[in-house]
Amino acid sequence: MSLRRPNPIDHLITQVDQAVRTLFGRPATTGRPHPAREAEDGELAEQERDLAVRLMRINHTGEVCAQALYQGQALTARLDTVREKMEHAAAEENDHLDWCEQRVKELGGRTSLLNPLFYAGSFAIGALAGRIGDRWSLGFVAETERQVVRHLDDHLQRLPTHDGTSRAIIEQMKVDEGQHASTAISAGAAALPLPVRLAMKGTSKLMTGSVYWV
C-alpha cells in the first residue's frame, strides 16, 4: 500500500499548525543540546540585564520572522528538494526560537507583542519569493542569513561579556545561519539586486527598532 502524496491543502494545514506553535505554543525542536549548557554567567547589573532582555527579544522576533519566511517559501516552492531544504532550515530555526524565548524569560523579560504582525508579513514575503521562483527564493534566504549573521555580530559586541548564556546561544545561531546561507547558495540561489538587498536591510531595521521597545 503506497502512501498518499501530500497535496497543497496538506501543506497549508502544516503551515497553520506551525504558525500557532511559533506564536502561541512551543515549536517542535530538533532535540539538539542547549548551546549554553556549559556557559558561565556573572552577576548582571540592572542596566545590563535590561539590555540583554531587549537584544534577546529582538533575536526571538527575528526567529519568528525566519520561521514565517521559511514556511511561506516551503508552501510555494516548486521543487520538492527546495521545499525539503526550507523545512530542514525551519526545524533548526525552531531551536533558536526556543533558546531565545527561554533566555528572555530567564532574564525576567517578555517576548515582543509585535510577533504576530511580523510573522504575517514575513510569511507573505516568503510565499511571494517562492512564487517568483526557487532560485530567487533561495537567493532571498542566502541574503537574509548573511544579514542575520552581521546583526548577531553586532549583538555579541553589545552584550555584557559576562552574560555567557546569551552569548553562547548567539554564537550557535551564527554558525547555523551561516550554514543556511551556504546551503541556499549551493542549491542555486540567485544574487539579489542591490535595491532588494537595501529594502531588506531597511525592513530589518524597522523590526529591530520597534521590538527593542515593544
| 42 part of a folded domain | no
pLDDT tens by residue, 11-34? 666 666 676 667 776 777 788 899
| 181 part of a folded domain | yes
Q: Under DSSP, is residue 100 helix (H, G, I), strand (E, B) or coil?
A: helix
**95: CATH:** 1.20.1260.10
| 58 part of a folded domain | yes
48 among annotated binding-site residues: no
| 29 part of a folded domain | no
| 142 part of a folded domain | yes
Its domain, for residue 131, covers 51-211
| 44 part of a folded domain | no
96 among annotated binding-site residues: yes
Residue 79 pLDDT level (bands cut at 50, 70, 90) = low
- Report the candidate in 74, 64, 61 with the shortest Cα–Cα distance to residue 13: 74
Residue 78 pLDDT level (bands cut at 50, 70, 90) = low
Structural domains counted in the chain:
1
For the stretch 111-124, what's the b/e string if a residue is b when 16 or more beta carbons lie within 10 angstroms of its beta carbon? bbeebeebbebbbe
| 80 part of a folded domain | yes
pLDDT tens by residue, 150-178? 999 999 999 999 999 999 999 999 999 99
101 among annotated binding-site residues: no
pLDDT of residue 125: 85
151 among annotated binding-site residues: no
11 among annotated binding-site residues: no
143 among annotated binding-site residues: no
